Structure 1
Amino acid sequence: METIGNGNGGTVRTRHVAVFAFPFASHPTHLLNLVRRLAAAAPTVLFSFFSTERTNRALFTKRGCDNILRYDVSDGIPEGYVMQGKIHEDINYFLGVAKEEFKSGVQVAEKEVGMKMSCLVSDAFLWFSADLAKELNIPWVALRTGGARSLSTHLYTDLIREKYSELKGSIGPNDEIANLIPGVESIRLADLPIGVIFGDLDSPFASMMHKMGRNLTRATTVAINSFQELDPDVTKNLSSLFNNFLNIGPSNLVSKHNSPSKPDEFSCISWLDNQNPGSVAYISFGTKFCPPPNELVAIAEALESTKTPFLWSINKDSQTHLPLGFVERTTANGSGKVVPWAPQVQVLDHIATGVFVTHGGWNSVLESIGSGVPMICRPLIGDQPINSWMVERVWGIGVWIEGGKFTKHETCCALEQVLSVDASSKGMKERIGVLKDLAHKAVGPNGSSTQNFKTLVDVITR
């Protein structure tokens, strides 16, 4: 175990809160951002933040609040082991040791600080937190970083499997099923997260998600990175299931006002300044996954064919799959800019940005809504299919790439549909403008998310 900070600072500590991170993708960043908000709102509370050494090293590059301590736990990977490249391999090793690592970590922190834990805050994925909180006789607060509908699929996994078993043989993956999930009017089976009815249902990751759904109702409070006006029917249903269900987002709008922006090291904003309003396609699929090479080629060909100005954030390795001369041609004529990283929120906020070509990850969807930019979605994994379904079929604020994969023809059609000046495009822009206003109002001084966050502070300080 390693600790950072002394937790004193001359302040009398009244509570000691354990925080368990799921140390993969953007999960630990979101949890730490929430803890920093809580620590600022409750300066007499001490937070002990537990994650793997590798994740903590990246998270704590800058000094945080005085009342946050860092503790490292094992990632479960055997010493000297070389990863085999199997899906979820690192996650599976971590899950094998996580419960005992967190439990022993709590004992170390309590001894060092000299104060018992009064509350446990964890990523909702870490379902065993319910058992540890019960052992310690303290409240459990679970944070879900995804959306309300994807959460519902995991809460109702057993019901979905039962209904699917009854319908099996008469329906296919691409069929729409009405009222499969309470509060959700319809959904395609193919858009359910892997591990609900498709994929390896016995894998450690699928098992983790299933157990999360079964145990989450034991939480004292479930907080979610969304705002209740975005999905009122699902929020109403989830509120009936949980002791205390709190929409406290969008976190990107909260952090925008409280955190300094990263430097725009590749001059993306100055390039956008020279483009026409609403003309630019911003393309980014996050840092973890990317469409296959043939689809990257299709996007590039469509951009050149439609003469669409674009800003493309894509890592160096993936850039090698772009057509020969594409980057040089588009850079030379000023129609495009390819960079390994872009300040996404600033780019989406820019008046020149007219569409966001995205994988449909929840953070990206919320950032697009917060900036009022319609989307073209090509989901790749996890909750991205159900998020993309919502974007097109429920909210009407974007399109799902026809056929589910980028081809030159379908990408041209999608770009023209969203960037055109016809009634369809105008309707998308109007609808996402309404959601943008609701999102900003939710995190305003008297907004629903602001009030819910105050309730969350009360839970951890009582």
Structure 2
Amino acid sequence: MATIFSHIAVMTFPFSSHPSALLNLVRRLAASAPTVRFSFLSTAKSNQAIFSGQQYDNIKPYDISDGLPEGYVFTGNVHETVEAFMKDTPGNFKEGMREAEAEAGVKVSCFLTDAFLAFGGEMADAMGVPWIAFWIGGPCSLSIHIHTDPIRSTVGDTGMAQNAEQTLKFIPGMSKIQIRDLPEGIIDHLEMPIAHALHIMGLKLPGATAVVLNSYEEIDLTIITDLKTKLKKVLSVGPSTLTSSSPSKPDESGCLPWLDKHKAASVAYISFGTILVPPPSELAALAEAIEASGVPYLWSLPDHSRHHLPQGFVERTSTRGMIVSWAPQLQVLAHTSVGIHITHSGWNSVLESISYAVPMICRPFFADNMLNCRMVEDVWEIGVRVEDGILTKSGTMKAIEHLLSNDKGKKLKENIRLLQESAVKAVGSNDPGRQF
């Protein structure tokens, strides 16, 4: 390893796709700065999952406390584990940083943190070093958090229900965003610890040396231009899908060979991320819609949820369908046979769909899902939201028909292809990468 001249402490929010997204950024930085040491601070569970035997010359993972009591058994309540972790911060990060400094023999000279961990700015200030914050979501959701107080003062005390269809036209780029699209914690459920942390984040980020976005300016030019007036520096470095060569788990289920057997743009890929599973009634309705529509499908569905599918569904659709517990999403979306992505509309999934020009059917659940869904359907016009925001047989069939129809579907495909082209141009690539 080269002599270390600088030492960056990387602080992660160890849930969902947050750590892997931050590691992708760090890998790119580390490759271009071999004399910089990156100490990657996350929980043991998170580090084990994202490093999975990978070693890097100048990136070293350090395990910090997750705040859970010894012998804790996961109850299925994600909020419980998040709250336990947050109660242990920032002490667990400070301890991990001391260990990293002692081993490296070099003091930390910069903090690179998940933007959610706004206390990283206070730690950086105390040491007199820069604070770089990485926002894993899209520009729209970041803008919402920075404008939280103006939104609250405009909506007043009447809450979300009474103002559901009111638009946020007083915020640049938000003329089609409605109050009902807002994440929890903006004007309701303010008592939630995560909501409080995000509010603090929105207030603290203007003090960051720079805020890094996994996005590109052309996709939300008005919003990003406004963010630049609120923040010291905004760096758009995405889509990471098109810039990162991060290792992927093997395609153990044979998704790609199975896709090879199907016609171009004919398969519906179904995935709701690494945490979410729709309610049993919606899983059944989605399966009924897929069966009735006759569309070939590849469904990433945890084993423990398969018993909610209609009896005989798997057998009746076996000649045109495949269900796996995990799918290599980037390779799947890049495959020419995939023509529809049925998704929860999390930012990573939306950006990946754009990167490979696959129109979406969105069933949003929480956090930024509703915002992203609104952008997909009404701003960019590259997909549709399922009827009433719930997966029903008839509503899902209408959405599938919409995407597969010659006129409506063609327009969506043209729009997402234009966004894909702008994304490829933004990262300086000549090829969106249909082959892996």
TM over 0.5: yes
Distance 1:326 1:15 in 2: 57
Q: CA deviation at 1:352?
A: 1.6
Aligned to 1:159: 150
Counterpart CA distance in 2 for 1:169 and 1:119 is 40
Q: Is the 8 A contact 2:269 2:341 kept in 1?
A: yes
Pairing partner for 2:352 from 356, 362, 367: 367
Contact 1:180 1:186 in 2 (8 A): no
Offset at residue 56 of structure 1 (A): 1.5
CA, structure 1 residues 320+443, in 2 after alignment: closer, same or farther (shift >3 Å)? same
Structure 2 contact 160–188 (Cα < 8 Å) conserved:
no
Residues 261 and 107 (structure 1 numbering): CA distance in 2 closer, same or farther, change over 3 Å? Answer: closer
Aligned to 1:303: 290
Q: Give the match for residue 343 of structure 1.
A: 328
Cα offset, 1:19, TM superposition: 0.8
Match of 1:218 among 179, 183, 207: 207
What are the superposed Cα offsets for residues 76-122 of structure 1, whole Å, 9 maximum, x if unpaired?
11223445554511111111111122123222322332211111100
Matches within 5 A, 1:11-50: 11-50=2-41
Mapped contact 1:22–1:125 kept (Cα < 8 A): yes
**1:245 counterpart = 2:219:** no
Greater shift after overlay, 20-29 or 168-177? 168-177
SS in 2 for 1:88: helix
Counterpart of 2:49 (choices 58, 70, 89) is 58
**Counterparts in 2 of 1:259 and 1:436: CA distance versus 1, 3 Å:** same
- TM-score, normalised relative to structure 1: 0.90
The one of 138, 146, 171 aligned to 1:147: 138
Q: Which residue of 1 aligns with 2:187?
A: 197
Cα drift, residue 186 of structure 1 = 2.9
CA shift, 1:203, in A, is 1.9
1:148 partner amino acid:
P
Q: Extract unaligned runs of 5+ from structure 2.
A: 432-436
Give the structure 2 partner of residue 318 of structure 1.
Answer: 305
Query: What corresponds to 1:453 in structure 2?
Result: none
Identity %: 49
1:104 aligns with 2:90: no
Matched residue type, 2:290: L
8 Å contact kept, 2:67–2:87: yes
Residue 3 (structure 1) aligns with: none
Q: Which moved more, 1:179-188 or 1:399-408?
A: 179-188
Encode CA deviations 1:57-76: one digit per residue, 9 max, x unaligned.
22222233211122111111
Match for residue 6 of structure 1?
none
RMSD (Å), alpha carbons: 1.8
1:415 aligns with 2:400: yes
Q: Deviations over 1:207-250 (max 9, x none)?
A: 11111111011100100111111100001000111111011001
Seen in structure 2, the aligned counterparts of structure 1 residues 170 and 437 have a Cα distance that, compared at 3 Å, is closer
The alpha-carbon deviation at position 446 of structure 1 amounts to 10
Partner of 1:439: 423
Give the number of equivalent residue pairs: 431
- The structure-2 alpha-carbon separation of the partners of 1:81 and 1:300, relative to structure 1 and needing over 3 Å to count, comes to closer
Distance (Å, rounded) in 1 between the aligned partners of 2:93 and 2:247:
32
CA spacing shift, 1:192–1:180, aligned 2, 3 Å: farther
Asked if the contact 1:40–1:65 (Cα under 8 Å) also holds between the matched residues in 2, the reply is: no
Q: Secondary structure at the match of 1:231?
A: helix
Change in Cα spacing, 1:235 to 1:116, as seen in structure 2 (3 Å) is same
SS at match of 2:252: coil
1:300 aligned counterpart, secondary structure: helix
The question of 1:328 aligning with 2:315 is answered: yes
Closer, same or farther: CA 48–165 of 1 in aligned 2, 3 Å: same
- Superposed displacement of residue 287, structure 1: 1.9
AA at the equivalent of 2:347:
W
**Structure 1 alignment gaps of length 5 or more:** 1-8, 448-462
Specify which of 239, 257, 282 is matched with residue 270 of structure 1. 257
| Most deviating of 388-397 and 79-88 | 79-88
Task: Report SS of the residue matched to 1:185.
Answer: coil
| Structure 2 Cα separation of the partners of residues 90 and 265 of structure 1 | 30
Contact 1:163 1:180 in 2 (8 A): no
